Amino acid sequence: MSGPPWPWCFPPEPHRRLLVRCGVSDPLAWAEEWRQRLGAWQGPPHPSLLWGLILPLLSSCYSRSGNGGAGLRYPLLIGLNGPVGAGKTTLGRELERLAPSLGLRLAVVSIDDAYLPFEQRLQRLAGNPFGVSRVPPGSHDVPLLLECLRRWRSGEPLQLPRFDKRLRAAQGDRAGWRRFEAVDVLVLEGWLVGCRALGVSALSMAMAKPLNEWNNSLSPAELAWLPRWDQELQAYQPLWNQLDGLWLLRPSRWSLPLRWRLQAEARQRRSSGQGLQASEVAAMVRATLASLPPELYQVGLERTVPGSSAATALIKLDGKRRCIWSGSADDAS
């Protein structure tokens, strides 16, 4: 890794400003230090994501923990919002692998590990227009997750439920608990992490506007369920209020998540002989895009709104899941 890492990956100025916001006083010295530390690093993920997301996020946590002199509190809860298929699991593994080099005890978990038990999900999602038993708002046991976080932040060891998607004929169910011996930074990843309910009035106004790209693409049944999903999303707000930062992974176009997830399932079938059918994958991806249309719920995370703050960072991905833009969310608006 020779030379500054970012000019060949993405525009340098937004990335430099993001690094400064993450507590990096000298981005060039920071890059050189990481090159020395990493040596002959090889992914996955793509190197652009190493420099565009992983290392800035770790540097931010290092600074905020007090190790970098900022003197902020431990423990930290960081949200990572990204569509299905974007590679959040791979990014999480690399975050966990590199964190100890900064003295950080970091774990990455999926909000989907807090899915409700199978029977409760069936009841909660009965009749939904996607025919899925998980994914949309209302699928998760938010009170349980909040209680787990409360105990962790009060000094107890972190314990979280575990979800096994192989159970119940691949519809998934609870599979015991996962205990973490020492965690100071927890990254919570998921496609809806940070998304805020619009409320009855704002959603009604959005739905009453002349047909545009987002509502023109929804079926009558999907439109009819939007108020239900928005209402379910309200229960997640206390959880989002716990976040100490929010990092956004954004596809260059919203047709990409389906392609990415189909590719992932194909790899899974080749390696294990198991995997979802294409129709099942399409239903799950559709559930993310039509229960909370990105134009209403994801785009708003990129800017400051009353009662919340803009996300910490925004990372844009091309069709091959390479970082093509990295910067503060307010730089992207």
pLDDT digits (tens, 9 = 90+) for 56-93: 999 999 998 876 444 445 799 999 999 999 999 999 99
Torsion 284-290-291-293 (CA) sign: positive
Residue 166 CA: distances (Å) to CA of 56, 169, 280: 34, 7, 14
pLDDT for the residue 70: 45
Three-class DSSP labels, 232-286: HHHHHHHHHCCCCEEEEEEECCCCHHHHHHHHHHHHHHHHHCCCCCHHHHHHHHH
Locus of tokens 């920071």: 30
Q: Residue 21 CA to chain centroid, in angstroms?
A: 20
What span, in angstroms and rounded, lies between the C-alpha atoms of 163 and 148?
A: 15
Cα-only R_g, the chain: 20
Q: What angle do CA 87, 88, 94 make, to 5 degrees?
A: 95
Q: Is the pLDDT of residue 4 over 70?
A: no
Q: Is the pLDDT of residue 10 over 90?
A: no
Q: Residue 296 CA to chain centroid, in angstroms?
A: 17
pLDDT for the residue 6: 52
The predicted-structure confidence for 142-160, as pLDDT tens digits, reads as follows 999 999 999 999 999 999 9
pLDDT for the residue 327: 95
Q: Edge-to-edge strand order for the sheet containing 185-190?
A: 106-110, 185-190, 76-81, 245-251, 313-317, 323-328
What span, in angstroms and rounded, lies between the C-alpha atoms of 210 and 222?
A: 17
Q: Are strands 158-164 and 173-180 parallel, antiparallel or unpaired?
A: antiparallel
pLDDT for the residue 71: 43
Domains of the chain: 73-332 (3.40.50.300)
State the pTM of this model: 0.94
Average pLDDT of the residues of the chain: 90
The predicted-structure confidence for 16-57, as pLDDT tens digits, reads as follows 999 999 999 999 999 999 999 998 888 899 999 999 999 999
Overall average pLDDT of the 126-149 stretch: 98
Q: Which one has a higher pLDDT value, 199 or 207?
A: 199
Q: Which one has a higher pLDDT value, 274 or 172?
A: 172
What span, in angstroms and rounded, lies between the C-alpha atoms of 16 and 11?
A: 9
pLDDT for the residue 7: 46
